[in-house]
Amino acid sequence: MIFSIQCGPHSPDLQSKVEDLLAAEKNIKGWIRYLDSAWLIDTDVANPEGFRELLRNAPELQSPRVMITKFSSVYTGWLNKNVWNWLEGKKFDEEPKYSHLPPAPANANTPAVKKENGGNDKDMPAVEEITQAQSLDDYIGMDEIKHQANLLLAGIRFRAAARKIGMKLDSGFDNILLKGSPGVGKTSLAKSVAMMLKNQSPAPEKTPVAFVKAANVVARYLGQSGDNMQKLLDKYKDGIIVFDEIDTLLMHGVQSGADAYGRQVLDTINTHITSSPNKPVIVATLYESRENALQKANEGLASRFPNTLLLSDYDDTTLKKIFEKKAETAGLTLESGVTDEVQKLVTELRKVKKDVFANGREIDNIFSAIVNTLAEKVSESGTDITTRSAACQTDEDRAQLRKEIGLVTVADVPMRDPKTGGLTRKPTSQDRVDKRGKLLPFPTPGI
């Protein structure tokens, strides 16, 4: 598998020290440094947390914030020629679970958007069109942000009506910026807000909503990225564009040469919405920590997004409730004490991970680990789950089987392995450890 490791800009001396650290790591087949802060590595290790700990504990780096990204077969992006040559023939996952970097640019190998008549527009970058999203009432907690979102939308609705009768109460921009830490629900909320904007528009049925990531517009060649963005702005001029993690256009720093691709996209957006306000309306998300970099890259863009929602980190109690809702939706039955055990694990992860704690994504990983354990228990019991599920003919049959295979006990909640930092099964029997007594890790649900 190919991973990108970023740990801050390197001086020549620091670059040499990092290279020595990587050279000593036996699990890395090879690596290549590109730009000023990132390394690509090739490894059979599915969970790269060990590499994160290796660099975070290196005294030379003074405990940097290390970011690790899995590359997929669809990733191209802003890489230089040496990296392109090195990646040739490497083994990739088909799709990333999720990524802090853009997973794929729009280019000749990207599937085109399907037209309503069944044909293809080969020149149009592929994007997802949103037709439904959660209502604000579906979100757990977030009472203050839901209240702010409703006020914001009411304000936009009022100002739009005022403009129609000749009043000018503001700058005229309805664009919205949602910012916060990883895993706090920015993307989901952005989709919800966009659908609410659509539904309060004069003609909802004629108001398309597009979901765009940097991957959809950043191309291999300079000049192509701005063209891709302009095509999307023109196509959805009567609708709404949700631009997810717009800050990923600037992942490598404002001064980086490769950053010109992302800045070109930002310049295109700024120029277009300045001359054609709200055609389309843009709802963008970003990591709060990267807001300053975005403003430095294009100083005029901030004033085009006058409406801002700041999503706070979830507290442990809210994350516990999210887990309970997730289990209920999945049809799992939780034994007494399970949710308290999950909350204890979340508290530990927050304390250890600090600024890289991923909020809702931690719950996703815990949930996936529990499902893996349930699957293992069924396998160990000798139950042919495929035959059993196919034989269920009535609701009672299905309910009974769900009760058998979907009971989660306290022992099924994973623990944190202090060595790797990953989630590990609790040792409840001899077959849960190897010959040396080492805990067997879970398959990694995501990076």
Give dist(CA 135, CA 188) in Å, integer: 10
Q: Which residues, at least 6 apart from 306, have a Cβ–Cβ distance to it below 8 Å? A: 170, 171, 173, 175
Band (pLDDT 50/70/90 cuts) for residue 65 is low
Give dist(CA 324, CA 338) in Å, integer: 9
The pLDDT value given to residue 434: 52
Give dist(CA 185, CA 164) in Å, integer: 34
Same fold, 2-87 and 113-311: no
Q: Percent of the chain having pLDDT more than 70?
A: 75
Mean pLDDT of the chain: 79
Residue 62 pLDDT exceeds 70: no
Among residues 71, 81, 100, the alpha carbon closest in space to that of 34 is found at 81
Residue 218 pLDDT exceeds 90: no
Question: Which residue pairs from 200-203 have beta carbons closer than 8 angstroms and sit at least 24 positions apart in sequence?
Answer: 200/153, 200/157
Give dist(CA 395, CA 359) in Å, integer: 36
The pLDDT value given to residue 166: 87
Give dist(CA 277, CA 203) in Å, integer: 18
The pLDDT value given to residue 39: 78
Give dist(CA 442, CA 370) in Å, integer: 9
The pLDDT value given to residue 421: 81
Condensed to tens digits (0 to 9), the pLDDT of residues 164-199 reads 898 877 767 899 999 998 889 999 999 999 999 999
Enumerate the domain spans of the chain. 2-87, 113-311, 316-432
Q: Which residues, at least 6 apart from 341, have a Cβ–Cβ distance to it below 8 Å? A: 410, 413
User: Which ranges of 205-337 would DSSP assign to H, the alpha helix?
Assistant: 214-217, 224-235, 260-275, 291-297, 316-330
Kindly provide the residue ranges of all beta strands, DSSP E only, lying in 139-297, ordered along the sequence.
176-180, 209-213, 240-244, 281-287
Give dist(CA 28, CA 181) in Å, integer: 30
Band (pLDDT 50/70/90 cuts) for residue 88 is low
Decide which of 3.40.1550.10, 3.40.50.300, 3.30.70.100, 3.40.50.150 is the CATH code for 2-87. Answer: 3.30.70.100
The pLDDT value given to residue 36: 54
Geometric angle at alpha carbon 73, from 123 and 85, rounded to 5°: 90
Backbone angles phi, psi at 413, to 5 degrees: -75, 130
pTM score, whole prediction:
0.64
Residue 227 pLDDT exceeds 70: yes
Band (pLDDT 50/70/90 cuts) for residue 393 is very high
Residue 82 pLDDT exceeds 70: no
Give CA separation, 389 vs 77, 318, 367, 393, in Å. 43, 34, 22, 9
Band (pLDDT 50/70/90 cuts) for residue 24 is confident
Q: Which residues, at least 6 apart from 268, have a Cβ–Cβ distance to it below 8 Å? A: 226, 229, 230, 233
Give dist(CA 432, CA 429) in Å, integer: 6
> When comparing pLDDT for 54 and 334, which is higher?
334
Out of 58-67, 83-92, 160-169, 347-356, the most confident range is 347-356
Look up the CATH architecture of domain 113-311: 3-Layer(aba) Sandwich (3.40)
Residue 61 pLDDT exceeds 80: no
The pLDDT value given to residue 420: 79
CB of 175 closer than 8 Å to CB of 302: no
Condensed to tens digits (0 to 9), the pLDDT of residues 373-389 reads 999 888 888 888 899 99
Out of 55-69, 299-313, 317-331, the most confident range is 317-331
The pLDDT value given to residue 180: 92
CA terminus-to-terminus distance, the chain: 12
Band (pLDDT 50/70/90 cuts) for residue 238 is very high
Q: What sign does the dihedral 267-112-127-40 (CA atoms) show?
A: negative
Condensed to tens digits (0 to 9), the pLDDT of residues 246-304 reads 988 876 444 444 467 788 899 999 999 999 999 999 999 998 888 888 888 888 888 89
